[in-house]
Amino acid sequence: MKTRLYSHFFLTFLASIFVFMTPPLMTQAAEPDPAIYLLIDTSGSMLMDIAGTTNTWGDGSSEHPGVNGTSSRFYIAKEAIKSVLNSYGEVRWGMARFQQRSGLNYLCSCSSAIPNNTAGCGGYGGLWASLDACRLCDMMQDYPDYDEPATNLDRVCINYAGGILDGCVDPISNTALTGADILVTLGANNVANIVKWINHAETDSNEGGYLVGQLPGAQPDPELRATGGTPLGGSLQTIYNQLSATDIHADTLRGCRPYTVIVLTDGAESCNTNPVTVATSLRSVPDNLSTCTINSQCPTNSWCSGGKCRYDVKTHVIAFAVAPNEYINCHQIGVAGGAGGAISAQNQAELVAAMAEIIADSIVTELCNGLDDDCDTAIDEDFPEKGLACDNGLLGACYRTGTFQCSTDQTSVQCSAPYISPVAETCNGIDDNCNGLIDDGLTCPTPGPEMCNGLD
C-alpha cells in the first residue's frame, strides 16, 4: 500500500512539473473564442429615424425618449447589440465609440425655434453660447440634436460632445475629435461592462450613487450619446494602436485567437480621416512588445515583418440605414478589411443577423495543413481520415491505391490515388477498359483466364 502511495505522489509531482514547464501558448485545450471590437457610430445622425427623414429628438433613453413615438437609429442599434451580446457572451468583447469630451451638462442645445442669429441666441447664456453660439442654438439647421422642437427657451443638455463643428471640432474645448474612445478593452466576461453603456439609462447627478467629481463615463451607469461627426478612419486607427500596444501581446493565445473589428455605422467618413487605408493596415497589426527576425519566432498564424510579429485583424462594416451615395465608402472599408464588402441592414433583425454572420466568420476552425490552427494541442483532428488507405474506386487496369491527404484549400481530405482513363480493350488478359471484364467482346487467339461471364 505504501508503495502505491509513493508511486501516486511521484506521478502527481511529475505531472505538476510538466504543467509548470509547458509554454503558455500551448496549455489551452479548448478552441479560442474570437476577440471582437465593436466600433459604434455615435454621430448625431444616429438620432434620425431609419428613413433619415425625421429627427427623433432623442435616443430612446429614459432621459431623452424622443417624440412622435419614432425609434431612433441609435435606440435600434443598442437593442440589436444587447441581443447579440447576450447570445454570444463567450466572445472576448471590446467596445469603442467615436471620440467625445464629457462633463456634467457638457453640451446644451436650444430649440430650433430660436432664431439663427447672434442676437437671437447669444443672450441665452450657458455653455452652448460660448462658441459658434448660433450653430449650437439652432443646430437642427444642419445637425440633429436632443432638444425637442417648439420648446422655445428650454435648453436640453447631455454629458458628452463629439466633433460637431467643421473638421469634427468639439464646440466647447475647440479640440478636434477625430479618433475613438475605447470604453471597454478586449477581455472575457465583458458583456455587463458594455451593456451598461447601451441600456438606455444614465446615472444622473440627483440620483443615489452618483459619484461627485467623477466624469460621466466613471459613473455607475454611463450611456452612449449621439453627438458629433463620423471619424471612421481615426477611430480604426485608435483600435489599431490599442491592439499593437497592449491587447495582442497580453493574449496568451495570440496567433490562434482570431481578432475582428465590427464597425456599425449609419454613414460615410466625415472627419477627413482615411478608413480604407487604416482597414488595410489592420490586416498586418504589429505586436509592438515583440521582436523577431524570422517567421518561426512568431506564434501560429502570425509572421515577422519589420522586426515585429504581425497579426491579421479583419474589419467588417455594417452599413445601417446608410444612404446609397455613402454606401460605397462603407463597402470600400469592408473590402480593404478583408470582409469582401459591407453588410447592409435596415432594421434591428437585420443588424442582429449581420453581427451573427460576422461572429460565425470569426470563429477559428482547424484546417488540414499539419498545424494546430485552433490551439487545442491536436493537429488536423477534424480530419480523421487523413493518412488512411484509399483507392480511386475504379476497376481493372484503372485501379490505383493511395492515402487520404489534405486538399489544396485545406478544408477537406482527398484520396491521393490518381485517376486512370480507360482505353480500348485488347487481347492481353487485362481489363483495359476498366469495366470489370477481361478481354470482353473479343475473340482472342490465346485464351485468357476463365471468368464467370457466360463466355468460354
- Please tell me the pTM assigned to this model: 0.79
Is residue 396 included in any domain, yes or no? yes
Q: Which residue has the cell 483507392?
A: 391
Close Cβ partners of 315 (under 8 Å, ≥ 6 residues apart): 236, 260, 261, 263, 279, 282, 333, 334, 336, 337, 338, 339
3-state secondary structure the chain: CHHHHHHHHHHHHHHHHHHHHCCHHHCCCCCCCCEEEEEECCCHHHHECCCCCCECCCCCCCCCCCCCCCCCHHHHHHHHHHHHHHHCCCCEEEEEEECCEEEEEEEEECCCCCCCCHHHHHHHCCHHHCCCHHHHHCHHHCCCCCCCCCCCCCCEEEEEECCCECCCECCCCCCECCCEEEEEEEECCCHHHHHCCCCCCCCCCCCCCCCCCCCHHHCCCCCCCCCCCCCHHHHHHHHHHHHHHHHHHHCCCECCECEEEEEEECCCCCCCCCHHHHHHHHHHEECCCCCCCCHHHCCCCCEEECCEEEECEEEEEEEECCCHHHHHHHHHHHHHCCCCCEEEECCHHHHHHHHHHHHHHHCCCCCCCCCCCCCCCCCCCCCCCCCCEEECCCCHHHCCEEEEEECCCCCCEEECCCCCCCCCCCCCCCCCCCCCCCCCCCCCCCCCCCCCCCCC
Is 422 found in the same domain as 294? Answer: no
Distance of CA 237 to the CA centre of its chain: 15
Question: Which residues have CB under 8 Å from 57's CB, separation 6+?
Answer: 47, 64, 66, 67, 144, 145, 146, 147, 148, 149
Domain count for the chain, please give it. Answer: 2
Q: Are residues 409 and 382 in the same domain?
A: yes
Assign residue 224 the CATH number of its domain.
3.40.50.410
Residues 224 and 330 reside in one and the same domain: yes
74: in domain: yes
CA 238 to chain centre: 15
| Residue 105: Cβ-neighbour burial (10 angstroms; 0-12, 13-18, 19+) | middle
Same domain as 420, residue 319: no
Tell me the per-residue pLDDT of 300-346, one tens digit each, with 9 for 90 and over: 889 999 999 999 999 999 999 999 999 999 999 999 999 999 999 99
4 lies in a domain? no
> Does residue 160 lie in a domain region?
yes
> What percent of the chain clears pLDDT 70, i.e. is strictly above it?
82
- All three cell numbers of 63, joined, read 432621459
Let me know whether 412 and 384 are in one domain.
yes
- Domain ends where: 362, 381, 404? 362
Among 362, 384, 406, give the residue marking a domain's end.
362
Task: Assign 102 a pLDDT band (cuts: 50, 70, 90).
Answer: very high
Q: Assess whether 167 and 224 both reside in one domain.
A: yes
Partner residues linked to 158 by β-bridges: 107
Q: Are residues 354 and 372 in the same domain?
A: no
Per-residue pLDDT reduced to its tens digit, 252-295: 999 989 999 999 999 999 999 999 999 999 999 999 999 999 99
User: For residue 262, what are the CA distances in angstroms to 51, 75, 97, 185, 359?
Assistant: 23, 18, 12, 14, 9
Pairing of strands 313-320, 308-311: unpaired
Provide the pLDDT confidence category of residue 107 given band limits of 50, 70 and 90.
Answer: confident
Q: Does residue 343 share a domain with residue 374?
A: no
Is 14 within the bounds of a domain?
no
- Residue 258 shares a structural domain with residue 300: yes
Q: Are residues 176 and 300 in the same domain?
A: yes
Q: Are 121 and 133 in contact (CB under 8 A)?
A: yes
393: left (phi over 0), alpha (psi -120 to 50) or beta: left
Q: Is the pLDDT of residue 151 over 60?
A: no
- Distance CA(4)–CA(102), nearest Å, equals 67
Q: Is there a single domain that holds both residue 74 and residue 187?
A: yes
pLDDT single digits (tens) 354-399: 999 999 999 888 889 998 877 788 899 999 999 999 999 999 999 9
Give burial (CB, 10 Å; 0-12/13-18/19+) of 17: exposed
Residue 20 falls within a domain, yes or no?
no
Task: Evaluate whether residue 2 is within a structural domain.
Answer: no
| Residue at 26 is within a domain | no
- Give the model confidence (pLDDT) of 71-89 as tens digits: 999 999 999 999 999 999 9
Together in a domain, 400 and 317: no
Q: What angle do CA 339, 343, 345 make, to 5 degrees?
A: 160
- Boundary residue ending a domain (308, 329, 362): 362
The pLDDT tens digits for 407-428 are 999 999 999 999 999 999 899 9
Domain that holds residue 398: 368-455
